Amino acid sequence: MSVLTRPVERAAAPAPPAPSQRRRLNRGYGFVIGALAPALVLHLIFIVSPYAQAFYLSLTDWNGVAGKANFVGFDNFARLAGDSLFLDAIKNNLLLLLLMPAATIGIGLFLATMIQRGGANGRSGVKGARFYEIVFFFPQMLSVAIVAVLWGFAYNPNNGLINGVLRAIGLDGLARSWLAEPGLALFAVMAVMIWSGVGFYMVLFSAAIDAIPKEIFEAALIDGSTGWTTFRRITLPLLRDNVQVAFVYLGMVALDAFALVQIMTVGPGGPDGSTEVMGLSLYRTAFEYGKFGYASAMGVALFFGTLVFALVALRGNKNRTELA
């Protein structure tokens, strides 16, 4: 009988589970459901419910106090398109998004590479690498409010540390009112964001480099690879996932930036709206002007902007991985 005319043998149907096995499976499902149910309920109450309320309030003119909220549809979102101050806030957030994550990741990668050349994989490099890790990580132990206050003193145009050092070394012409000049204020805040965040990502990248097998670096060294070529061809590709995570988190920080701007800048948000960010516009609209419906629309816009950014960043990395 040929293969083509041979009757096809059907696979035997799997035997149904025994009653004792079914009872064990049911007990297992019951345990899992019982363990997840409290967390799911808390998530719905404290996470999903506030989001749903914000989405609803963005379609009303609620003033934040007890009373009826009139449904206005998408009028609040239409107002956002013509709100010049909010549009300036979007531009400032986009500038932060363009520069701050790239600078933080770049400096963090550089410092991590220099530190890991100090013996973790058998290469010569900087002495006292662990001490430098502690020093650069130190800002992570300070709250955002403390960081903002300290740097506010440092930026003081009269007796601040930065201008004091410039005057002491004879560079009086470089002294500035760092937070009072429209062209400098946002970059001064951005410098603080980079300073406060670079230590964490340096430690993150340092741990990731430390996990790379040293045999890979030894093989590259034997092949005559230079330090820059090794970093570009080996270290950076193997850190792609870590860089992606860092970029997403730093992008979310750049799209917020509320606390530093609120504490450090004049106005706050000044001068002339040069440091206005979306989070600050939302806060002022809600708690100073009492327009909670309009502020909720700002929050919804910020939410979807952050969501789109995260999806694009994650999708872009996935496409690069598939091409590789």
| Residues 51-83: tens digit of each pLDDT | 999 999 999 999 888 777 889 999 999 999 999
pLDDT above 50 (res 272): yes
**């009872």: which residue's tokens?**
23
Q: What is the pLDDT of residues 148-181, one digit of tens each?
A: 999 999 999 988 999 999 999 999 889 999 999 9
Between 195 and 8, the more confident residue is 195
Residue where the block lists tokens 């999806």: 311
Average pLDDT (112-136) is: 69
Q: What is the pLDDT, as a whole number, of residue 30?
A: 75
The 10s digit of each residue's pLDDT in 5-43 is 555 555 555 556 566 666 666 666 777 788 888 889 999
- % of the chain beyond a pLDDT of 90: 55
The number of angstroms, rounded, from the C-alpha of 108 to the middle of its chain's C-alpha atoms is 14
Contact between 279 and 257 (Cβ < 8 Å): yes
For the segment 184-192, the average pLDDT, to the nearest whole number, is: 96
**Residue 16: its pLDDT value, please?**
61
Lowest pLDDT segment from 36-45, 124-133, 183-192: 124-133
Q: State the pLDDT at residue 317.
A: 62
| Structure confidence by residue, pLDDT tens digits, 225-246 | 777 888 888 888 999 989 999 9
| Least confident interval from 16-30, 97-111, 204-218 | 16-30
Q: Is the pLDDT of residue 192 over 60?
A: yes
If pLDDT is split at 50, 70 and 90, which confidence band does 214 have? confident
- Quote the mean pLDDT of the chain: 85
On the question of pLDDT at 112 being above 50, the answer is yes
pLDDT beyond 70 at 126 = no
What's the gap between Cα 196 and its chain centre? 13
Predicted local confidence at residue 114, as pLDDT: 85
